[in-house]
């Protein structure tokens, strides 16, 4: 009897431990198949994006000392920001780049939102045709767009008598509006995709309650569009702070008249490759490119910490 009572607790403890082991959640295996799908994209992105960026930062730390390339630390950045000639050109390019972006932000994106709202109207006929026609300029070459608009805005055989591209006060804004005409289809499509995904039940309920079309847009549609508004804004910022091709096509590397259309992209081109009598410098060009990256990074961080974290998202 004593032996039986002595074995029963031991056997019960063992069975309880085995039961606990059986009910312990199995450790999930790492999905190694994801590496197979991600590795090619990561390799290509690293080779053509990450490595050139890091190498440009490395190159910006070097300079020519007595005809020999040597490590100079932050001397190139100090020279870029303090030298009378270089600093004037750099800050002029930064200010005009921000103005170029501001035109897109306050003109292109609102027009894209307006067009998306109109195209999402169920009573509008030919919506697919209008949507295609508005988006077609996005697919055109920048060279073609620049050449066409130069003909349209020419005082000799165009539709205007004022040389908008030949005056320092109007050249940059005119180029920005040309870019707006070409790329307004991108924010339009992004906004349109969100608007058509809004449940029709919400719209019908608001109409039953007596809400007007204006109230429906600002109280229902626009709050649902806010995350997309932020995304479109940061994409516009990155694209315009990297702009180069349109201004180079229309005004050349000197970004005339009198550097009035000079932005960071054209400044980088002249500094790195040289132009006419100006000698190129790969190290100083890399310094300008690094400063471009830092300016873009500052804008993106401002978006994430000043806007993205405060906007409430809704699942449609």
Query: What is the tens place of the pLDDT at every residue in 47-74?
Result: 999 999 999 999 999 998 877 889 999 9
pLDDT at residue 220 is higher than 80: yes
Q: How far apart are CA 9 and CA 16, in angstroms?
A: 10
Specify whether the CB–CB gap between 84 and 91 falls below 8 A.
no
Domain borders along the chain are 34-73, 75-308
Q: How far apart are CA 11 and CA 260, in angstroms?
A: 89
Angle between helix axes 282-303 and 84-103 (nearest 10 degrees) is 40
Between 195-204, 237-246, 276-285, 305-314, the lowest mean confidence (pLDDT) is in 305-314
pLDDT at residue 34 is higher than 70: yes
- pLDDT for 28 equals 75
pLDDT at residue 41 is higher than 60: yes
pLDDT at residue 1 is higher than 70: no
Strands annotated E in the chain: 62-65, 68-71
- pLDDT for 2 equals 47
Per-residue pLDDT reduced to its tens digit, 68-110 = 889 999 999 999 999 998 999 999 999 999 999 999 999 999 9
Q: What are phi and psi of 232, to 5 degrees?
A: -65, -35
DSSP code of 139?
A: G
DSSP code of 217?
A: I
Structural Rg of the chain based on CA atoms: 29
> Is CATH 1.10.3720.10 what the domain over 75-308 is classified as, yes or no?
yes
Q: Which residue has the higher pLDDT, 131 or 2?
A: 131
pLDDT at residue 311 is higher than 80: no
Q: Which residue has the higher pLDDT, 3 or 252?
A: 252
pLDDT at residue 235 is higher than 50: yes
Q: Supply the mean pLDDT for the chain.
A: 88
DSSP code of 275?
A: B
What are the tokens at 101?
A: 């972006």
Q: How far apart are CA 294 and CA 288, in angstroms?
A: 10
- pLDDT for 48 equals 93
pLDDT at residue 16 is higher than 60: no
Q: How far apart are CA 132 and CA 171, in angstroms?
A: 29
- pLDDT for 147 equals 93
Sign of CA dihedral 233, 238, 244, 245: negative
Q: How far apart are CA 244 and CA 236, in angstroms?
A: 14
pLDDT at residue 24 is higher than 70: no
- pLDDT for 314 equals 67
Q: Bridge partners of 69?
A: 64
- pLDDT for 7 equals 47
Number of C-beta neighbours around residue 111 at 10 A: 16
pLDDT at residue 272 is higher than 70: yes
Q: How far apart are CA 212 and CA 214, in angstroms?
A: 5
Instruction: Name the 3-class secondary structure at 63.
Output: strand
Q: Which residue has the higher pLDDT, 109 or 19?
A: 109
**Around 22, how many Cα atoms within 13 Å sit in the side-chain half-sphere?**
6
Q: Which residue has the tokens 């349209």?
A: 152
pLDDT at residue 23 is higher than 70: no
């Amino acid at each position: 009897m004593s032996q039986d009572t002595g074995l029963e607790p031991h056997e019960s403890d063992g069975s309880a431990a085995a039961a606990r082991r059986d009910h312990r959640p199995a450790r999930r295996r790492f999905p190694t198949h994801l590496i197979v799908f991600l590795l090619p994209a990561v390799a290509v992105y690293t080779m053509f994006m990450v490595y050139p960026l890091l190498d440009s930062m490395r190159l910006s730390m070097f300079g020519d000392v007595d005809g020999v390339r040597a490590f100079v630390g932050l001397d190139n950045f100090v020279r870029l920001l303090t030298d009378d000639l270089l600093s004037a050109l750099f800050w002029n390019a930064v200010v005009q780049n921000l103005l170029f972006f501001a035109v897109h932000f306050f003109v292109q994106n609102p027009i894209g939102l307006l067009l998306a709202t109109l195209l999402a109207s169920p009573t509008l006929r030919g919506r697919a045709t209008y949507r295609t026609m508005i988006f077609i300029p996005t697919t055109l070459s920048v060279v073609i767009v620049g050449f066409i608009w130069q003909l349209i805005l020419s005082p000799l055989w165009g539709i205007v008598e004022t040389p908008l591209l030949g005056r320092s006060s109007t050249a940059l804004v005119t180029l920005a509006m040309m870019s707006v005409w070409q790329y307004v289809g991108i924010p339009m499509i992004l906004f349109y995709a969100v608007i058509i995904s809004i449940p029709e039940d919400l719209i019908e309920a608001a109409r039953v309650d007596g809400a007007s079309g204006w109230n429906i847009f600002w109280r229902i549609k626009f709050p649902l569009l806010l995350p997309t508004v932020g995304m479109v804004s940061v994409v516009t910022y990155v694209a315009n702070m990297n702009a180069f091709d349109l201004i180079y096509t229309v005004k050349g590397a000197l970004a005339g008249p009198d550097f009035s259309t000079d932005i960071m992209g054209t400044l980088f081109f002249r500094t790195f490759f040289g132009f006419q009598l100006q000698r190129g410098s790969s190290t100083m060009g890399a310094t300008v490119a690094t400063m471009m990256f830092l300016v873009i990074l500052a804008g993106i961080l401002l978006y994430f910490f000043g806007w993205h974290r405060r906007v409430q998202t809704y699942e449609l």
